[in-house]
Amino acid sequence: MSEFQQMNRKDEHLLHALNQYQSESHPDFQETRFVHQSFSSVPFEEVSLETKLLDLKLSCPFFINAMTGGSAKTKEVNQRLAILAHETGLALASGSMSIATKDASTIDSFKILRQEAPDNLIFANLGAHHTLENAKRVVDMIEADALQIHINTPQELIMPEGDRDFSNWLQNIEQIVAHLAVPVIVKEVGFGMSRETIQQLHSIGVQVVDVAGNGGTNFATIENARRTRISYHELGDWGQSTIVSLVEANSIPKVNRPEIIASGGVKSPLDMVKCLAMGAKAVGLSGTILQLVHQEDSLPSAIRIVKEWQEQLQTMMCLLDCQNITDLQQTDLVLSANVQNWCHARQID
Ligand code: FNR
């Protein structure tokens, strides 16, 4: 794939992601319900939003998930994302830095993240075909606190210029996890994960997994829109929703699974709190945050909205009688009939 193609692709992804965004949450989110209890012993002021991923401390359990970089336009978006993170204390992931390993002129579009958010947790990002050497390079480039490795076979296959051979991915990931100095997070890109995938990742030493389910930004639809021949419309619904992916993760005994991040279609603090109650240690948002910052003058309102989400999250935790994120895992949730059917078919209790 030429670098020109790749730069255009980043701009196109932004455009399509913005156009396809829907503000309503996926039915699996909407139909997952908390059981209301009338008493709470936790004062609002005592609710803590802190969480941890391995040894990384997050002051807020939701973060800006991987999106962009690699072109002039995406540098501007990255700058706004980093300022938003800096002003609100959110952790922040870079978009894929693959282009930066090949074309030095694009490195600034990623370095801007560290420049604008010098003290935030920042995650670098690469595809699973990359070597350990590239992984070290991109982490150094932005002084990243962790590396995200994305796995995206449906996207690659639908993308006309995408990869067609994924046979070395698990070995590459294993190498990187074993030798990189910072933690590695393996993430999907909106197709979700099964318990088998999570178990495979755990067996090669992966300690943090982001299930990134469907229900939000849809890379089957985005890549389909970029195609000129052979359409793949029927793959628009491919994969597991975020709630189903969490159910899959929870079907593995806790000692035998990585720490779980939930993302994919998260639109509101209520979606976030459901993910956390279902065992996620942190929650990532891409499409919803992109909506907040895509316009040049959007930063003040984006900062205000993110601060409101933080307060709303605290409110819901108070309502659920939870002082911290760990307490949330003790709350009672009722799953939708669809999700229960999935559990039945997959023999998940
Ligand atoms: C993404 N995503 C993504 N993921 C990744 O690991 N590396 C990447 O470079 C990108 N690029 C990218 C661009 C744009 C414009 C968007 C919106 C998203 C995928 C993202 O991290 C996430 O997994 C999915 O978008 C699903 O989450 P949302 O968008 O529904 O919150």
pLDDT in tens, the chain (349 residues): 444 455 589 999 999 999 999 999 999 999 999 999 999 999 999 999 999 999 999 999 999 999 999 999 999 999 999 999 999 999 999 999 999 999 999 999 999 999 999 999 999 999 999 999 999 999 999 999 999 999 999 999 999 889 999 999 999 999 999 999 999 999 999 999 999 999 999 999 999 999 999 999 999 999 999 888 888 989 999 999 999 999 999 999 999 999 999 999 999 999 999 999 999 999 999 999 999 999 999 999 999 999 999 999 999 999 999 999 999 999 999 999 999 999 999 999 9
Q: Is residue 17 in contact with ligand 1, taking CB distance under 6 Å?
A: yes
Q: Which residues are annotated as a binding site for Mg(2+)?
A: 156
Q: Residue 29 and residue 6: Cα distance in Å, rounded?
A: 34
Q: Is residue 213 in contact with ligand 1, taking CB distance under 6 Å?
A: no
Give phi and psi for 116, each to the nearest 5.
-85, -20
Q: Is residue 70 in contact with ligand 1, taking CB distance under 6 Å?
A: no
Q: Is residue 220 in contact with ligand 1, taking CB distance under 6 Å?
A: no
pLDDT at residue 230, rounded to an integer:
84
Q: For every residue of 123-141, which 3-state class applies, written as one string?
A: EEEEECCCCHHHHHHHHHH
Looking at ligand 1, which atom is closest to the CA of residue 266? 31
Give exposure, 251-264, as e/b (b: 16+ Cβ within 10 Å): bbeeeebbbbbbbb
> Token pair for residue 223?
């890549």
pTM over 0.90? The answer is: yes
pLDDT at residue 229, rounded to an integer:
80
Q: Is residue 68 in contact with ligand 1, taking CB distance under 6 Å?
A: yes
pLDDT at residue 6, rounded to an integer:
55
Ligand 1: distance of its center to the CA of 124 in Å? Answer: 13
Q: Residue 273 and residue 293: Cα distance in Å, rounded?
A: 23
Looking at ligand 1, which atom is closest to the CA of residue 96? 9
pLDDT at residue 167, rounded to an integer:
97
Q: Residue 119 and residue 107: Cα distance in Å, rounded?
A: 20
pLDDT at residue 4, rounded to an integer:
45
Q: Which residues are annotated as a binding site for substrate?
A: 9-10, 155
pLDDT at residue 3, rounded to an integer:
44
**DSSP reduced 3-state for 183:** coil
Q: Kind of pairing, strands 184-187 and 146-150?
A: parallel
